[in-house]
């Protein structure tokens, strides 16, 4: 007889009062504790900010119960996150010796698929699955008041105890072969490194700081890569603002596509105000398209906007009268 058997229960449901899964794992826990098994339960919905660190709790476990409820489709986000964390941060050598009993209750549909998902996931992780329970329970009272169902649950708990106690072996599964192939692409980490990484991943402040650092670096490198274009764009905007001559009562939006530029030049004129920048505009009264050299000719005063259009150097779409006003509000 195993004196210090330890079994962990990981519950992936939402903790609803009428969740049938809670009744099932409660009965199983009663039976296991009567057999002098130390049982520890982890409600994932209460530990959602620390799920990535939970694989550390597998260290002293001889077996585990993965229990969840299918409310509409799949095993639920909390349980999936826990399994993902086991794959990323769990000690695979330790997991290979842990028996797992899947418990999946459904209030709609999909309990069999859910049970299969848990079994397959544990096999891919390298663990040892054992016989579990799945069922469709629309009303938890149907289980609570049924002695045959309760006996079935108690027998499953006893079977799990025997499986762990006797270390019953099973034939190899193809899912374990998948793990061996996939794990070749992973970075090999020691159990200590995986544990430390999981702690970092579960630290919200650390993760937020890392995101901020990444955004800062991204912005820095983007500015370095597009430095020439940024400076060039600022020069164009500055020159337009310097030569802006307001026209009372005039309002218009111009959008200019310049060949070679990733963003359009947008000029918003509102009486005496000019908003000029490279970006986007949902609405434009006049849309223009030209080569950079053509714009340089206009900015240097050697050509007007209207002349560029008449000569075919610039394409235009929109109100022609508003186009003609360009040469009145920008005098070079």
Q: Is the pLDDT of residue 191 over 50?
A: yes
Which of 118-122, 231-235, 298-302: highest mean pLDDT? 118-122
pLDDT at 280: 79
Give the model's confidence band at 79: pLDDT under 50 very low, under 70 low, under 90 confident, else very high.
Answer: very high
201-237 residue pLDDT tens? 656 666 677 777 776 676 566 555 554 455 567 888 8
% of the chain beyond a pLDDT of 90:
42
Q: How far apart are CA 128 and CA 96, in angstroms?
A: 7
pLDDT at 46: 94
Residue 168 CB contacts under 8 Å (≥ 6 apart), including other chains: 130, 162
pLDDT at 185: 46
Decide if 302 contacts 270 (C-beta within 8 A).
Answer: no
Decide if 100 contacts 118 (C-beta within 8 A).
Answer: yes
Q: State mean pLDDT over 286-301.
A: 89
Residue 311: other Cβ atoms inside 10 A? 10
Q: Is the pLDDT of residue 20 over 80?
A: yes
pLDDT at 115: 95
Q: Is the pLDDT of residue 188 over 70?
A: no
Give the model's confidence band at 169: pLDDT under 50 very low, under 70 low, under 90 confident, else very high.
Answer: confident
Delimiting residues of CATH 3.30.1050.10 domain(s) in the chain = 229-329
% of the chain beyond a pLDDT of 70:
84
Decide if 223 contacts 254 (C-beta within 8 A).
Answer: no
Q: State mean pLDDT over 245-253.
A: 87
Homologous superfamily in CATH for domain 229-329:
SCP2 sterol-binding domain (3.30.1050.10)
Q: State mean pLDDT over 301-321.
A: 86
Q: State mean pLDDT over 72-101.
A: 93
Q: How far is CA 96 from CA 90, 101, 127, 270, 276, in A?
A: 11, 14, 4, 70, 63
Q: Is the pLDDT of residue 198 over 70?
A: no
The torsion of the CA quartet 250, 255, 258, 263, rounded to 10 degrees, works out to: 130
Q: Is the pLDDT of residue 2 over 50?
A: no
List the one residue out of 119, 110, 4, 123 whose CA is nearest residue 65: 119
**Domain 6-204, classified CATH 3.40.50.360, yes or no:** yes
User: Which has more pLDDT, 40 or 200?
Assistant: 40
């Amino acid at each position: 007889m195993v004196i210090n058997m330890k079994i962990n229960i990981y519950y992936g449901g939402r903790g609803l009062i009428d969740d049938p899964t809670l009744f099932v794992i409660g009965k199983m826990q009663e039976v296991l504790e009567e057999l002098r098994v130390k049982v520890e339960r982890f409600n994932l919905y209460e530990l959602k900010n620390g799920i990535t660190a939970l694989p550390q709790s597998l260290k002293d476990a001889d077996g585990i119960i993965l229990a969840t409820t299918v409310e509409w489709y799949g095993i639920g986000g909390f349980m999936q996150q826990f399994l993902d964390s086991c794959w990323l941060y769990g000690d695979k050598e330790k997991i290979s010796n842990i028996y797992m009993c899947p418990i999946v209750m459904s209030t709609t549909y999909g309990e069999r698929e859910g049970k299969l998902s848990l079994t397959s996931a544990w096999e891919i992780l390298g663990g040892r699955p054992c016989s579990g329970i799945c069922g469709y329970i629309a009303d938890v009272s149907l289980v609570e008041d049924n002695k045959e169902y309760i006996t079935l649950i108690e027998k499953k708990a006893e079977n799990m105890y025997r499986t762990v106690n006797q270390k019953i072996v099973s034939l190899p599964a193809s899912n374990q072969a998948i793990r061996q192939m996939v794990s070749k692409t992973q970075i090999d980490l020691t159990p200590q490194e995986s544990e430390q990484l999981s702690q970092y991943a579960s630290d919200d402040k650390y993760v937020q700081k890392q995101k901020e650092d990444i955004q800062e670096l991204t912005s820095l490198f983007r500015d370095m890569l597009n430095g020439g274009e940024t400076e060039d764009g600022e020069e164009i905007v500055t020159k337009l603002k310097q030569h802006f001559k307001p026209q009372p009562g005039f309002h218009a939006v111009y959008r200019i596509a310049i060949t070679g530029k990733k963003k359009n030049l947008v000029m918003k004129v509102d009486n005496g105000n000019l908003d000029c920048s490279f970006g986007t505009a949902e609405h434009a009264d006049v849309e223009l398209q030209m080569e950079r050299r053509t714009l340089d000719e206009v900015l240097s005063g050697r050509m007007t906007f209207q002349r560029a259009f008449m000569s075919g150097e610039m394409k235009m779409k929109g109100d022609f009268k508003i186009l003609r006003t360009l040469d009145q509000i920008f005098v070079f």
